[in-house]
Amino acid sequence: MEKSGRSIRTRGIFSLTKLVDYQREGDLAIVTIDNPPVNATSTAVRTGLLHAIRSAEADQCNKGLIRCAGRTFVAGGDVSEFGKPPQEPHLPDICIALQHSPTIWVAVLFGTVLGGGFELAMACDYRIADKGARFGLPEVNLGLVPGAGGTQFLPRLVGVELAADLASSGRLIAAQSLFEAGGLDRVIDGDVDAQARIFLEGVNSKSIPVSQRSVASFEDGFFDAKREAIKKSAKGAAAPNLNLDAVEWATKLSFDEGQPRERALHLKLRYSDQSIALRHVFFSERAAAHPTAITGTSSSPLDTIAVVGGGLMGAGIASACLNAGFKVRLIERDIGAADAGRARVETILQGALKRGKINATVFDKQRAALMVGDDYAASYEADVAIEAVFEDLAVKQSVFRSLAQHMRNDAIIATNTSYLDPREIADSIANPDRVVGLHFFSPAHIMKLLEIVRLPQTSKAVLATSFELAKRLRKTSVLSGICDGFIGNRMLAAYRRQADYMLADGALPKEIDGAMRAFGMPMGPYELQDLTGLQIAWANRKRQAATRDPKERYVAIADQLCELERLGQRTGKGWYRYEDGNRSPVPDETVQVLINAYSAEHGITRRTFEDTEIQSRLIAVLANEGARIVEEGIAERDLDVDVVKIHGYGFPRWRGGPMHHAEALGVKKVRDQMRLVREQSPGSWALAERYQVPQKVR
Ligand code: NAI
C-alpha cells in the first residue's frame, strides 16, 4: 500500500497530530492512519481519528474510508502505553463516534488487523479486506481482554463459537475464513483501496451497527464445555477464560452494558501480575534479539546455508532453513547417511505439507532448494555452515577443518554443540573469529529458541549476522557466553539436581512432576527426562565426574536407572513405565523401591514434600542459577534468561520467566528459600551475589 501524502488539513486542534491524515474528495472523507511500524492506536492516533470523524461530519461527507499507510492496518494498541494511566480519547470513544457518525464508514483492511484495529473495523459500517489480511484479538497473549468492545462486537458479527475461539486463544484468522463467517463484506484480490471506493459507490445507507445486532443462537452448554477445555490448556493463565467470560456477556447483556464491563476488566487487568509478566515477556523477546553486543553492527547477506550432519538435529535445522527460503547444502559422512538425512528432511517437509503449513508449490520449491551429499565441496558457496554431527570433539574439529578448506574466508562456521566447549572446536581452524555457536533445540524445525553462543574471538559482524539468521528462521534468539550447558541447559542441570535431592529425601517422581505441572510447566522434570531420553544427561554426568566439587551432594538414582537400561520412553521405561503404544507415564513400583533403597543406604529418613515446598525450592534454584549466569556475564540481562526458559523449557509465559517471577516474589523470599535449599544439601550451591545475606554496615 502506498504511503499517504502527509498533507494535513488544518482544522483546529486536528493540526496537533500528523499521524492521522484527513482529506476530502467531494463528499468522500479519506482518513489515513500513518503511525509506523504497525499503525498502533497510540493517544496521538486516537486524537487524530476522533478529529477526522468530526471533520467528516462537519464537512457533511456522506461516505468515508478508514485506511492505513504502510504495511498493515492498525495491528493493536501501543503496548508501551499499557503501563500508564489511559489518556483520552479512549478507543471505545472512537468506536462510538464511528457508529453514531452520519458518515457511512468503510474500513480498508490489509496486513494484520489486530486488537484495537479489529475493533475499529467492527465499529465501521462495512469491512473490505485484502485477501492476505489476517485478523485477531491477541490481547489474551498479554493477559488482557480487549478494551474497546472486541468481545462484545465479535459474537454479534460472527457468532459465539468463533468469537470465543479467537478471543480466548488470540489466534489469527485469514480474511477468507472471516468472510465466510460473516465478518467481512468483501475480500479483494488486487487493489483493496480502489475496490473499497467502488464498493462505497454502490452503498447508500449506514449498516445496522454491529453493536446493535443480536447474537446468533448457539448450542446449550457451549460455554461450560469451552471453559473446561480452556482450563486444561491454559495451564494457569487466567486471561483465556476471562475472555470467554466477556464473550458470554455479549449473550446476556446489551452492547451498551457489556462494552463498559469489558473495558473495566481490561483496565483492571493491566495491573494484574499476569499481564505485567506477559508484557515483560513481550518486550524481553524483542530486547533479547538486540543484545548490546551487536549494537551498530550490520549483518552480511544470507542466501545459502550448509548443514553438516543430517541426524535428528541436522534434519530439523535444514528444514527450518528451507522453510525460511534459504538454499541448503546438507553434508553427511557417506552416501548412505546422506540418503538417510535426505529422507529425514523429506519426512519433515511432507508433514508440513500434510498439515497445510505449506502448499504443494512451496513444498516443491523447498525440495528443489535442498542438495544432499557427502562432499564438503558443496559448502563452498554457503554463507553459513552449521555443524550438527556427533557430540565428539575430534569429529567436530575435523568437520570444521573440512569446512574451512572449502568455504569463503569470511563465511561463518557454526556449531550446534550442547556441551562441548566451542573454543576447542574453533581452535582447529585458522581464523576462529568467524566461529559462533548456534544452539538449536529439539525438534529444531519447531522449537523457537536459538541460543547464539559467543566465543571470545567471535567478531561482532558474525554475531550480527547470526541474529539476522535467527530472525529469518523466525527463532527467538538469545546471546549466551560459554559455560557448561550455556544458559538453558545449565539452568536445567541445577533444576534437576535440586529435584533429585528432594527425591532422595522423600519425594517421588510423580509428586515432583505434579507440583511443577500445577505451577504451570507443561511437564515435570522426570516425565520430561523420560520423553527426551536419559542418556545425554548420563553422559554429561560422567564427563563432569572428574571436575565435580567433592563437597557437592551427588544423587546417583538417575545413574542407577540408566545402568538398568531404563532410558526413558524409547526403552519403554525410565522414571516411569509405559504401556505399549501409550506415552502416558505410569508410576513404577521398581523405581519407588530403588529410590527408597537409595535413601536407606544413605541414612536418610524420608519425609513428605508439599507441592508448595517443591515449587519454591525448584524456583529458588532456577532464580539463583539465572542470577549467577547474569553476574558471570554469560547472559547480558535477566530478561535473556527469562526468554531462554520460556522458549526452550516451557516455563509458564504468564509467570514472566524465572527471573521476573523471582523479582515479583522479592529478593527476601528467594534468599530465604535458598537458605533452606543450602541447609538441605550443604556444599552443593554457590549463591548469586544478589541472594547473599547483606553484611551489616558497622
Ligand atoms: P544424531 O546422531 O541424530 O546425528 C548426527 C549426524 O551426524 C548423523 O546423521 C551422522 O551420520 C552425522 N555425522 C557424523 N559424523 C559426521 C561427519 N564427519 N560429517 C558429516 N556428518 C557426520 O545426533 P543429534 O541428536 O542430531 O545431535 C547432533 C548435535 O546436535 C550434537 O552436537 C548434539 O549435542 C547437538 N544437539 C542435540 C540436541 C538433541 O536434543 N538431540 C539438542 C541440541 C543440540
pLDDT in tens, 637-672: 999 999 999 999 999 999 999 999 999 999 999 999
| 317 close to 396: Cβ distance less than 8 angstroms | no
Q: Which CATH class is domain 302-480?
A: alpha beta
Cell, residue 31 = 482518513
DSSP 23-45: EEETTEEEEEE--TTTT---HHH
- Going from the Cα of 391 to the center of ligand 1, the distance in angstroms, rounded, reads 6
Please work out whether the CB of residue 462 comes within 6 Å of at least one atom of ligand 1.
no
Distance from Cα 416 to the centre of ligand 1, integer Å:
8
- Cβ(418) – ligand 1 distance below 6 Å: yes
- CA proximity to 86, closest of 284, 260, 266, 272: 266
Span(s) in the chain for CATH 3.90.226.10: 7-204+215-269
CA atoms in the 13 A half-sphere facing the CB of 186: 21
Q: Is 381 in the active site?
A: no
Looking at the chain, the whole-number percentage of residues with pLDDT higher than 70 is 97
Q: Looking at ligand 1, which atom is closest to the CA of residue 316?
A: 26
Q: Could you give the CA distance from residue 670 to residue 652 in angstroms, rounded to a whole number?
A: 18
Catalytic residue among 81, 119, 346, 451: 119
Burial of 472 (0-12, 13-18, 19+ CB in 10 A): middle
Check residue 146 and give its pLDDT. Answer: 97
pLDDT tens, position by position, 77-135: 888 888 788 899 999 999 999 999 999 999 999 999 999 999 999 999 999 999 999 99
Given this model, what pLDDT does residue 696 score?
65
**Ligand 1 pocket, residue 395 CB under 6 Å:** yes
Strand 186-188 relative to strand 435-440: parallel, antiparallel, unpaired?
unpaired
How far does the centroid of ligand 1 lie from the alpha carbon of residue 335, in Å? 16
Ligand 1 contact via 323 beta carbon (within 6 Å): no
- Cβ(416) – ligand 1 distance below 6 Å: yes
Topology (CATH level 3) of domain 7-204+215-269: 2-enoyl-CoA Hydratase; Chain A, domain 1 (3.90.226)
Going by CA atoms, what residue is nearest to atom 44 of ligand 1? Answer: 418
Cα-to-centroid distance, 417 and ligand 1 (Å): 9
CA pseudo-torsion sign 456, 458, 460, 463: negative
Domain with CATH 3.40.50.720 in the chain: 302-480
CB 577 within 8 A of CB 586: yes
Peptide bond into 89 cis (omega under 30): yes
Contact 493 CB / ligand 1 (< 6 Å): no
Query: Nearest 5°: phi and psi at 386?
Result: -120, 115
Catalytic residue status for 119 = yes
Give all strands (DSSP E) within 45-111, no chain letters: 63-68, 104-109
Query: Does residue 287 contact residue 365 with C-beta atoms inside 8 Å?
Result: no
Q: Answer whether 372 contacts ligand 1 (Cβ < 6 A).
A: no
Pick the CATH number of 488-691 from 3.20.20.70, 1.10.1040.50, 3.40.50.11540, 3.30.300.30: 1.10.1040.50
Please give the pLDDT value at position 8: 37
DSSP string, 200-215: HHT--SPPPPGGGSPP
Low pLDDT (below 70) residues in the chain: 1-17, 695-698
Contacts of 179 (CB under 8 A, 6+ apart): 129, 186, 187
Decide if 400 contacts 425 (C-beta within 8 A). yes
Best residue among 313, 402, 415 to mutate for probing ligand 1, ranked by most atoms within 8 Å of CB:
313
Probe ligand 1: pick from 307, 347, 390, max atoms within 8 Å of CB?
390
- Distance between Cα 313 and ligand 1 center (Å): 6
The pLDDT value recorded for residue 697 is 54
Measured between alpha carbons, how far is 364 from 342 in angstroms, rounded to an integer?
Answer: 14
Q: Measured from the CA of 314, which atom of ligand 1 is nearest?
A: 26
Delimiting residues of CATH 1.10.1040.50 domain(s) in the chain: 488-691
Cβ–ligand 1 distance for 311 under 6 Å, the answer: yes
Q: Which atom of ligand 1 is nearest to the CA of 391?
A: 32
State the distance between the two ends of the chain, measured CA to CA, in whole angstroms: 68
